[in-house]
A and B are shown apart, each in its own frame.
Chain A
Amino acid sequence: MTVLRSSPYSPRRLGGAQLEQLTVARGPLLRHLQDSIVGAVAGGQARFDLLIGPPGSGKSHLLGVLEHRLRGSAQLADRALVIAPPEQRRPTSLVQLLALLLREFPDDPDAGPVAPALESLQRQTDGDQERRAVALIRARLAGRSMVVVLEHLDDLFNALGRAGQQRLRNILQTERSWSILAGARVLLPAFTKYEAPFHGTFNIQQLAPLSAEQCRDLLVVLATAHHQPSLAQTLAGPLGLARVKGLRLLLGGSPRAMALVFQQLVPQRVEHDGHDGHDGHDGHDQPDWLDPLDPLDPLDPFDTALAAALVQLSEQQAPYFRAQLDRLSPAQRNIMELLAEHWRPLSVGEIAERTFTSHGSTSGSIRHLRGDGWVVQLELGRERFYELADPLARLAWAGADKQRELNRLAAATREWFADDPGPPPTTYPRIGARVGYSTAHDAGAPPPALDPPMASVASPGALLEAAIERARTGSSETSELVRRIDLAWHRRALAGVGLPNAHTSAAFAGVAAPIRQVLVRAWCCAQLDNPDPTTQPQTEASRAAAAWVLEFMSQASVALPHSAPTPAGGGVGSGIRHLLAYLTLDLLTIGVGLDPVALQIQPTQTIRVTQVTCGAGDFGVTLRLGMYAWLAARRPLAPLARLAQRLRDNLGADPLGLEWLRCKSARHVVARLAAPERELIRLRLLQLRDTDGLAYFGFGAATE
Chain B
Amino acid sequence: MSIPEDVDPLPARSMQPNPGGALRPDHVLGRDQLIADYWRTLQVQSLALLAPRRIGKTSIMVRMELLAPEGFVVVRRNLEGLESTSEFAQVLLEDIEQLLSTWKTKALRAREFLAKLGVVELHKIKLELRGVGWKRLLERLFDDLEEQLEQHDQTLVLMWDEVTLFIAQLINSGQAGDAMLLLDVLRAIRQSHPRVRMVLTGSIGFGELLRRLRREHGYRNRPLNDVAQRSVPLLQAGGAEALICALLRHADQALEPAFINELVQVSEGHPFVIQLLVDRVLQQLVPSRVDLRACLATLMTPPGDPLDLNHYLDRLERELDNQAAALARVVLDTVAASPDSLDRAGVCAALPGHPRDRVLATIRILEDDFYLRRNQHEQLEFMLQFVRRFWIAERGL
Contacts and interface: CB of A to CB of B under 8 A. Distances in A.
Interface of A: 28, 32, 35-36, 39-40, 43-48, 52, 124, 126-128, 131-132, 163, 166-170, 172-174, 176-177, 179, 187, 191-195, 197, 199-204, 206, 431-432
Contacts of A45: 16, 18, 21-24, 27
Interface in B275-316: 279, 283, 303-308, 311, 315
A202 B20 contact: yes
A124 B123 CA distance: 12
Contacts, number: 107
A35 to B, nearest CB: 8
Given A43-B16, A203-B19, A203-B20, A174 B124 contact: no
B80 A166 contact: yes
B146 interface: no
Given A36-B16, A45-B18, A432 B303 contact: yes
Given A35-B16, A203-B279, 14 more contacts: A36-B279, A40-B16, A44-B24, A124-B124, A168-B81, A170-B79, A172-B22, A173-B58, A192-B305, A192-B308, A194-B315, A204-B304, A431-B303, A432-B303
Nearest to A193: B308
B53 A199 contact: yes
Interface of B: 15-24, 27, 53-54, 58, 62, 77-83, 124-126, 161, 165, 169, 250, 272, 279, 283, 303-308, 311, 315
B14 to A, nearest CB: 9
Given A163-B83, A169-B81, A174-B77, A48 B125 contact: no
A40 B19 contact: no
Contacts of A203: 19-20, 279
A131 B53 CA distance: 26
Contacts of A39: 16, 250
Contacts of A35: 16
Nearest to B161: A173
Contacts of A191: 304
A61 to B, nearest CB: 20
B124 A126 contact: yes
Contact of A128 (B24, B77, B125, B250): B125
28 contacts: A32-B283, A36-B16, A40-B21, A45-B21, A46-B22, A48-B20, A126-B125, A128-B125, A131-B126, A163-B81, A166-B81, A166-B169, A169-B78, A169-B81, A170-B78, A170-B79, A170-B80, A173-B78, A193-B308, A194-B308, A197-B80, A199-B308, A200-B20, A201-B20, A203-B19, A204-B304, A431-B303, A432-B303
A173 B22 contact: yes
A633 B296 CA distance: 37
A35 B251 CA distance: 11
A569 B16 CA distance: 61
Nearest to A129: B126
A694 B316 CA distance: 37
Nearest to A40: B18
B303 A174 contact: no
A47 B21 contact: yes
Contacts of A132: 124
Contacts of A192: 303-306, 308
A200 B126 contact: no
A128 B124 contact: yes
A200 B54 contact: yes
A47 to B, nearest CB: 4
Contacts of B315: 194
Q: Which of A28, A48, A166, A168 has the most CB of B within 10 A?
A: A166
Contacts of A195: 311
A52 B311 contact: no
Nearest to B279: A203
Nearest to A28: B283
A52 B307 CA distance: 17
A200 B58 CA distance: 14
Contact of A199 (B24, B54, B77): B54
Q: Which of A28, A128, A132 has the most CB of B within 10 A?
A: A128
Contacts of B27: 43, 45
A170 B165 CA distance: 12
Contacts of B279: 36, 203
A279 to B, nearest CB: 48
Nearest to A126: B125
B272 A200 contact: yes
A45 B22 CA distance: 6
A195 B104 CA distance: 42
Contact of A127 (B19, B58, B81, B126): B126
A176 B16 CA distance: 16
Contacts of B169: 166
A206 B304 contact: yes
A201 B272 CA distance: 10
B204 to A, nearest CB: 10
Nearest to B127: A128
B81 A170 contact: yes
A173 B124 CA distance: 22
A200 B57 CA distance: 14
B241 to A, nearest CB: 21
A187 B308 contact: no
B199 to A, nearest CB: 15
Q: Which of B18, B82, B272, B307 has the most CB of A within 10 A?
A: B18
Given A128-B124, A194-B308, A167 B81 contact: yes
A177 B24 CA distance: 9
B183 to A, nearest CB: 20
Given A169-B81, A199-B54, A432-B303, A194 B19 contact: no
A200 B304 contact: no
B304 A187 contact: yes
B81 to A, nearest CB: 4
Contacts of B304: 52, 187, 191-192, 204, 206
B20 to A, nearest CB: 4
A66 B336 CA distance: 46
Q: Which of B16, B83, B283 has the most CB of A within 10 A?
A: B16
A477 to B, nearest CB: 37
B276 to A, nearest CB: 9
Contacts of A206: 304
A39 B21 CA distance: 12
Contacts of A131: 126
Nearest to B27: A45
A200 B19 contact: yes
Contacts of A174: 77-78
Contacts of A431: 303
A202 B16 CA distance: 15
Contacts of B79: 170
